[in-house]
């Protein structure tokens, strides 16, 4: 029996996810699917629109054979550690033969050889990232520019590899491949082209496939029924049950009071103890709080 691993958030599960699920089985010839799924909080640090058990139920209803939670210590991290945690879990099962992920490019041609080079992270690579950050680039752009330079494709203009790595699924896919290399994994990677809706599209297009971002916006602004064209019936039923139970939709506003209580009652020194509160961020948070009405 052949098993394919996928890394998911299902926030919520929609028709694009169903397409990826079926394409992954088709391309890899897999008989079974193991999904590693983020729990209550996701890679960008935001809360999932529904609880982890409800979203795991969606995955099983679609046909996933096993759904494993990605611990929050990996789930909320940048792409490098998010990918490493997820791939480590798939590797540890001992039954996963291949990994399938979506990408804007739909090809491993450029990122596979790059992943082999970056798995050992050449010394110049981090220094180039730091240089680009000092120049004002955001981190994804700095990472892409540094990777392209290390791979011998630097130039005065934005080159194709650098542009490719600014796209979120391509970038995350690269980190899956880097993790496979670092783990010396026997898992074979595959990628499925992302179709019709892109990762950050805030609004749905003319098809039944919309981004999870657009679907969440619809649910929060217009209600669950307005999202019906873009989600499977089982997602609709599970989400409706969670909403009726008062357990969804979950969004940042639900965390406003405890978050501000923590920020207002902590000193800068205490805030500094939190992960990634560095380079004076604790003082900036305190200054911004003083400006709130």
pLDDT tens, position by position, 69-81: 999 999 999 899 9
Per the confidence metrics, is the pTM higher than 0.85? yes
3-state SS, residue 166: coil
pLDDT > 50? residue 185: yes
Assigned token pair, 1: 């029996």
CB 154 within 8 A of CB 129: no
More confident residue, 207 or 210: 210
Is the model's pLDDT at 49 over the cut of 90? yes
- Is residue 194 over pLDDT 60? yes
pLDDT at residue 248 tops 50: yes
Residue 184 is classified by DSSP as T
Over residues 150-160, mean pLDDT = 60
**β partners of residue 36:** 7, 68
Angle among Cα 15, 20, 24 to the nearest 5 degrees reads 150
Q: What is d(CA 189, CA 167) in angstroms, rounded to the nearest whole number?
A: 19
Query: What element of type H or E holds 188?
Result: strand 188-193
Integer Rg of the chain from CA: 20
User: In this structure, what token pair is assigned to residue 74?
Assistant: 């990996």
Highest averaged pLDDT of the listed ranges 50-59, 73-82, 209-218 = 50-59
> In 10 A of CB 229, how many CB atoms?
14
Q: What angle do CA 288, 166, 140 make, to 5 degrees?
A: 40
Helix (H, G, I), strand (E, B) or coil at 164: helix
- The pLDDT of 16-31, averaged and rounded, is 97
What is the overall mean pLDDT for the chain? Answer: 90
In the chain, % of residues over pLDDT 90: 67
Q: Would you say 210 and 197 are in contact if contact means Cβ atoms under 8 Å apart?
A: yes
Confidence class of residue 44 from pLDDT cuts 50, 70 and 90? confident
């Amino acid at each position: 029996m052949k098993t394919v691993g996928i890394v998911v958030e299902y926030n919520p599960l929609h028709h694009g996810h169903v397409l990826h699920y079926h394409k992954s089985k088709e391309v890899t010839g897999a008989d079974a699917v193991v999904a590693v799924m983020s729990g209550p909080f996701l890679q960008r640090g935001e809360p999932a629109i529904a609880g982890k058990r409800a979203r795991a139920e969606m995955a099983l209803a679609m046909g996933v054979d096993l759904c494993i939670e990605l611990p929050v210590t990996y789930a909320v991290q940048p792409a490098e550690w998010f990918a490493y945690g997820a791939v480590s879990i798939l590797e540890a099962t001992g039954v996963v033969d291949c990994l399938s992920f979506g990408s804007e490019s739909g090809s491993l041609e450029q990122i596979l050889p790059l992943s082999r080079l970056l798995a050992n992270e050449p010394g110049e690579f981090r220094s180039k990232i730091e240089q680009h950050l000092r120049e004002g680039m955001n981190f994804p752009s700095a990472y892409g520019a540094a990777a392209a330079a290390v791979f011998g494709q630097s130039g005065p203009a934005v080159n194709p590899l650098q542009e490719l790595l600014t796209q979120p699924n391509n970038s995350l896919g690269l980190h899956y491949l880097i993790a496979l290399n670092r783990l010396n994994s026997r898992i074979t990677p595959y990628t499925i082209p992302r179709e019709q809706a892109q990762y950050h599209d805030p609004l749905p297009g003319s098809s039944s496939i919309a981004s999870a971002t657009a679907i969440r916006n619809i649910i929060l602004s217009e209600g669950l029924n307005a999202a019906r064209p873009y989600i499977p019936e089982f997602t609709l039923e599970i989400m409706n049950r969670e909403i009726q139970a008062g357990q969804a939709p979950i969004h940042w506003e639900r965390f406003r009071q405890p978050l501000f209580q923590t920020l207002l009652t902590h000193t800068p020194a205490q805030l500094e103890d939190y992960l990634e509160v560095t380079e004076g961020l604790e003082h900036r948070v305190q200054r911004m709080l003083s400006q709130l009405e």
